[in-house]
Amino acid sequence: MIGNDRVVVVLPAYNAEKTLERTIREIDSRIVDEIICVDDASMDNTLNIAKNLDLKTFHHPENKGYGGNQKTCYQAALDESADIIIMLHPDYQYTPKLIPAMAHLIHTQLYDIVLGSRILTGGAIRGGMPVYKYIGNRILTLIENMLLRQKLSEYHTGYRAFHRRVLETLPVLENSDDFVFDNEMLAQAFLFGFRVGEISCPARYDNESSSINFRRSVLYGWGVLWTSVRYRLQRMELFRFRIFNPNGKKLRLKSHGNNDVAPS
């Protein structure tokens, strides 16, 4: 807890048996009040490891995708009365040691959302990011900044902190269940006027780090571009899209409302 703010870390997990425990060991328990792990029908021992680590664990009997996993994560965090929610990949690609800094930036009300950027340090490739992904990241970020009229160093990090009012306000249930969920959420945040900040984050890539293949990366790229185009059309009041509708489907504050998801 920071002041009166309850801090909850959410882990969208899929086949993370080799890195989950290492990730948990580096989470500062003096700051974090609760750790929630959502297992997205992993094919390895992720679920049992999460239980043995005494995490608050949820299980998807069927894989719901990266975006679908996050929806469960954020709903569970709101149900735990979280004030500050930090989404961290349990594959140890991002260091948990930045959690206190990110949480404090939210607590002090400097930002509503804080992103851990792999680009600000200039060490993404040194950390092992594939060159084609780095190039794609830079091209997509340039286009997004132009269409969204922002100046972020990257939109594609999986390390994010939110104030609860962001999750209560955005119609995130209108978003994709796939990887483009992250981009849609940022576009929504900018449209709804939330303040987004960044912090330098070293990243590591090895055989244990989760990654999508080239084909999925291309599909993700098209999804990112379409999200940015929809944002600009919405801003110009030429079209209206469900993901930007303030009355769209939002997370509920007291229950999951999903019979397929239950604590494990």
Task: List the single range of 89-98, 171-180, 200-209 with lowest mean pLDDT.
Answer: 200-209
Mean pLDDT of the residues in the chain: 92
pLDDT over 70 (residue 207): no
pLDDT tens digits for range 42-73: 999 999 999 999 999 999 999 999 999 999 99
Q: Which two tokens stand for residue 107?
A: 């607590």
pLDDT tens digits, one per residue of 208-254: 655 667 788 889 999 999 999 999 999 999 999 999 999 999 999 76
In the prediction, which pLDDT does 130 show?
Answer: 78
Task: Supply the pLDDT for residue 120.
Answer: 86
- pTM strictly above 0.85: yes
Report whether pLDDT(256) > 90. Answer: no
pLDDT in tens, 76-117: 999 999 999 999 999 999 999 999 999 999 999 999 999 999
Is pLDDT at 255 greater than 60 in this prediction? no
Question: In a 10 Å sphere around its CB, with 0-12 CB exposed, 13-18 middle and 19+ buried, how is residue 206 labelled?
Answer: exposed
Task: Outline where 39-98 has alpha helix (H).
Answer: 46-52, 65-79
Contacts of 121 (CB under 8 A, 6+ apart): 200, 201, 202
Structure tokens at 83: 């004030």
Angle at 8 between CA 148 and CA 111, to 5 degrees: 35
Rounded CA gap, 24 and 208, in Å? 16
* pLDDT of residue 258 exceeding 60: no
Q: 90 near 11, Cβ under 8 Å?
A: yes
Beta bridge partners of 35: 9
Mean pLDDT of all residues in 131-145: 92
